[in-house]
Amino acid sequence: MIRLTLRSLRAEALRMLLSALAVVLGVAFIAGTLIFVDGMRAGAYERAGTFDRHTDLGVYPSGDKALPASLVDRVRAVDGVAAAAGELTGAGGLLGADGRPVLGYAVLAAIPTEAALRSYDVVSGRLPDRAGEVVLDAPTVAEEGFTLGAPVQIGGTGGAARPYTLVGTVDVAGSVRDVGGPFIGLVGPDALAVSGARGYGRIMVAARPGTSETVLADRLRAVVGGADASVKSRQQILDEAVDDAVRDLNQFMMLLLIFVGVAVVVAGFVIANTFAIVLAQRTRRTALLRLVGATRGQVFRAALLESALVGFVASVLGVLLGVALAAGMRLLMTRLDVPVSGGLTVAGSTVLTSLLLGTALTVASALLPAWRGTTVAPVAALTDAAVQPSRGAGRLRLIFGAVVLGAGVAALAGAASAGQVLLVAVGGVLAFFGIVLFGPVLVPALIRVIGWPARRLFGMTVGLAVANAVRNPRRIAATATALVIGIGLVSAFVVGARSTKDGIDRSVDAEIGTDFVVSGIGQNLPAALAGELAARPELGVVHEQRSTVTGDIEVRAAHPALVGRTLTGVLAGDVGRLGPGQVLVHRELAQARGWQVGSAVTIAGRPFRVAAVVADDAPAMVASAAPEGHVIEVDDADFAALFPRERGFLAEIDPASGVSAEEARDAIEAVLARYPTVNLMDQGAYKKMLTGTVDMLLAFVTALLGLAVVIALVGVANTLSLSVVERTRENAVLRAVGLTRARMRAMLAAEAVLMALVGAVLGIGLGTGVSAAAMALLARLGGDFHVVLPLGQLGLILGVAVLAALLASVLPARRALSRPVVEALADQ
């Protein structure tokens, strides 16, 4: 049987080619992902301790607190400490040679001045030794044309940009401080001033030679114990650095593996369908083997051996393609200026895992077709009547499928009222499995519905295509279902992204009532910025959105000219009285505390009076830690006096009366020229900035799911190609009675298009249903979200499916027309 199986594989290598292609693509995705992440992990291990090569101990704050600068001197004075330095990492900005901010998120770090703690790789010059000196990463210096010894303008949350002398360049590529933008290194006090930080993130300690690390750690704990800080050993520091790097990589890998799983499931459908068709076409051969003595078990094992060999060979090719795929992913990340550490690492475990998964997937997918292929009685199988290509699904399967599909639809419909995110996922999964189980009825019915108008337009050519497509309900359902997975997920993300962007647009319209918006780039606005803008006579309204939670109350800064735009009602009082000493209290808080207009309110120890009780039912763009509606709005000046260190990330600006928008923009830009960490936008640009992440995520997801769709379309081509082999004599008869070559091609093309269209329509319906449930849930939870159908994008999905189906029909049509009619009529 083994020799017979090998001969059969050689004889039917072409038939198994497309099936093997599905495995190749699936395994390539698995191997490529693992190789890419393994390379990044190796780089992470190498670079995890880059900035701690000379650190023996570290002092770390508890929670989100910062360590005061005075604690550094106390640590430095501990017996056994050779050097101690405070370190922080935050965000900053610098102006380029053209006076404009250098693009990209800039990492700012405090660099030790003590030689015993310096772990940076200097490319040129030296590290900063005193205040007023700075080092930058070498690529930024080269791109901007900076020279050593020249001034460079550096700024951050702490204030406007000021000149620092460039004394050197460093290499931070592939490290945790390489995020694609500039790197700025300053001495500790300068880093604190520029970043606006209240203290250091940690204190690095170098021990004197001969000092016991354990003894020194105990001494440090005795000194810093009262400062709510902890002491970590060098090994703890390195272990945590590695854990952080690997944790991020593992999360990234898990995200990629989700899409790998989708591609693998689709490949499983394609493989199972292929083996079902191939084994059905061998019915007579199998029967003959049974007649001459082969047992059912031998035939079954031979089919599994064949699937294992196909899976193994395809997996080997998939691993080779996976190496190329990993290299392509790395190149793409580099082109997009995304830092990637390490190279390509092809580990033995990755190769073995990919080979085993690919082979196991193929064998598992062939189990049911192989078992079914042995159930036909040997003698009956030698007659034409034994071949039952139109075998439908069992009644139990259809009933169960209808129940599961109904349960999925009910879960999606009830997710919003139940307020459960899990119901959306469960509903989507149940609906998909319902389509799988009920597919032998649903898919042929849809093909007849879609084919009816086409048959009226194009005549019997399409009629023959419809008849061919629905003759085997299980086969056509399996082919269409493979498409449902990929296109369903793509559609869910497309509809969800469009609906989310539309919701963001409405939220911005409700929250932002000014012509211009100034936002921080990855950080809050500099402390003095709002004051400088307000001092410009061209600007009438300057409001920095700031808030803080004290007790269980959210205190918001408000501007009298803007506060009314978000309110849905004024229950009592006059909002126009908002000003010094007067506040607005939201309805829920007023009811909870029994406050009315004129009531005395104490905020941070200062007395205020309630000017009005208001309602604000609009969804908040930023979540608050306070209970819903427990809000007090105070005048900007009062907020600044109460909470001087609280900053916001957004400022709203309107021109003064009689000032044009162009003049106001010029005035704003004149101020912002000294602040490299802020960005000026109008409302449209601000919306685009907020929705840019959604677009980027959609492109990323669509690209990853694209492979699943490609594999599913391979399944369409595979099904059509093998069906052509099965219908060799039938097609020859059609040609003999006058069907032209062009009409034969048109018939096969129509059959492929019908299969692809039904899968795409079901996928779009499923994806839209999942997105609709998700949007309804978000709306119930407080967001202003509604389902918005991007008809253009959904139409594009259908168009791509149709075009791909037409391409998939080319080779089967060529095969159907390649044999002479007389020879094809004699085919057995």
What are 226-246's pLDDT values in tens digits? 667 888 988 888 888 777 776
pLDDT attached to residue 398 = 81
pLDDT attached to residue 783 = 62
Residue 233 belongs to what H/E stretch? Answer: strand 229-233
- Number of Cβ atoms within 10 Å of the Cβ of 525: 24
Q: Which of the pair, 478 or 592, is modelled with greater confidence?
A: 592
> In angstroms, what is the C-alpha Rg of the chain?
34
Given a contact cutoff of 8 angstroms between Cβ atoms, the answer to whether 307 and 366 are in contact is yes
- Number of Cβ atoms within 10 Å of the Cβ of 387: 15
User: Has residue 173 got a pLDDT over 60?
Assistant: yes
User: Has residue 678 got a pLDDT over 70?
Assistant: yes
User: Has residue 133 got a pLDDT over 70?
Assistant: yes
Residue 269 tokens, joined: 């459908």
How far, in Å, CA of 334 to CA of 180, rounded? 10
- Half-sphere exposure of 608 toward its Cβ, with a 13 Å CA cutoff? 28
Helix residue ranges, H only, 559-682: 587-593, 636-642, 661-672
Given a contact cutoff of 8 angstroms between Cβ atoms, the answer to whether 196 and 158 are in contact is yes
Residue range 244-269: mean pLDDT, rounded: 76
How far, in Å, CA of 441 to CA of 423, rounded? 26
Report the residue count for the chain: 828
Closest CA to 487 of 217, 708, 637: 708
Q: Collapse the DSSP code of 146 into the 3-class scheme (helix H, G, I; strand E, B; otherwise coil) and give the result.
A: coil
Residue range 184-209: mean pLDDT, rounded: 91
How far, in Å, CA of 586 to CA of 630, rounded? 7
Residue 218 tokens, joined: 């105990």
Residue 193 tokens, joined: 């001033």
Helix residue ranges, H only, 282-295: 283-291
Please provide the distance, in angstroms rounded to a whole number, between the alpha carbons at the two ends of the chain: 23
Residue 308 tokens, joined: 């294992």
What are 403-425's pLDDT values in tens digits? 888 888 888 888 777 777 788 88
Worst-scoring range by mean pLDDT, 130-139, 166-175, 388-397, 724-733?
388-397
**Residue tagged 């004599």 (tokens):** 729
Residue 537 tokens, joined: 């006579």
What are 135-152's pLDDT values in tens digits? 999 999 999 999 999 999
The DSSP call for residue 178 is -
742 burial class (0-12, 13-18, 19+ CB within 10 angstroms)? exposed
How far, in Å, CA of 486 to CA of 222, rounded? 60
pLDDT attached to residue 716 = 77
Worst-scoring range by mean pLDDT, 599-613, 762-776, 799-813?
799-813
Confidence bin at 388 (pLDDT 50/70/90): very low
Given a contact cutoff of 8 angstroms between Cβ atoms, the answer to whether 431 and 780 are in contact is no
C-alpha to C-alpha distances, 336 to 91, 179, 653, 696, nearest whole angstrom = 21, 12, 33, 12
**Residue tagged 């700031």 (tokens):** 546
What are 361-380's pLDDT values in tens digits? 888 887 877 777 666 666 65
- Half-sphere exposure of 738 toward its Cβ, with a 13 Å CA cutoff? 2
- Half-sphere exposure of 805 toward its Cβ, with a 13 Å CA cutoff? 27
Mean pLDDT of the chain: 82
615 DSSP β-pair partners? 569
How far, in Å, CA of 754 to CA of 447, rounded? 6
User: Has residue 607 got a pLDDT over 90?
Assistant: yes
Phi, psi of 312 (to 5 degrees): -70, -50
What are 343-353's pLDDT values in tens digits? 677 888 888 98
How far, in Å, CA of 285 to CA of 301, rounded? 15
Confidence bin at 387 (pLDDT 50/70/90): very low
How far, in Å, CA of 584 to CA of 63, rounded? 33
606 DSSP β-pair partners? 603
Worst-scoring range by mean pLDDT, 62-71, 378-387, 747-756?
378-387
Rounded to the nearest angstrom, the gap between the alpha carbon of residue 681 and the centroid of all alpha carbons in its chain is: 26
What is the arrangement of strands in the sheet containing 229-233, beginning at the earlier edge strand? Answer: 81-87, 202-207, 57-61, 229-233
Q: Say what percent of the chain tops pLDDT 70.
A: 86
Contacts of 458 (CB under 8 A, 6+ apart): 746, 750
User: Has residue 386 got a pLDDT over 50?
Assistant: no
Residue 549 tokens, joined: 């939670």
Q: 377: phi > 0 → left, psi -120 to 50 → alpha, else beta; which?
A: beta
What are 528-568's pLDDT values in tens digits? 888 899 899 999 889 998 999 988 889 999 988 888 777 77
Residue 230 belongs to what H/E stretch? Answer: strand 229-233
User: Has residue 168 got a pLDDT over 90?
Assistant: yes
C-alpha to C-alpha distances, 601 to 575, 583, 611, 628, nearest whole angstrom = 16, 9, 11, 19
The DSSP call for residue 200 is B
Residue range 761-765: mean pLDDT, rounded: 90
Residue range 695-717: mean pLDDT, rounded: 76
pLDDT attached to residue 586 = 93
Residue range 434-440: mean pLDDT, rounded: 86
What are 16-31's pLDDT values in tens digits? 666 677 788 888 888 8
Contacts of 285 (CB under 8 A, 6+ apart): none
> Crossing angle of helices 473-511/460-470, nearest 10°?
100
The DSSP code sequence of 234-247 is HHHHHHHHHHHHHH
The DSSP call for residue 566 is S
What are 298-341's pLDDT values in tens digits? 777 777 787 888 888 888 998 998 888 888 877 776 665 665 66
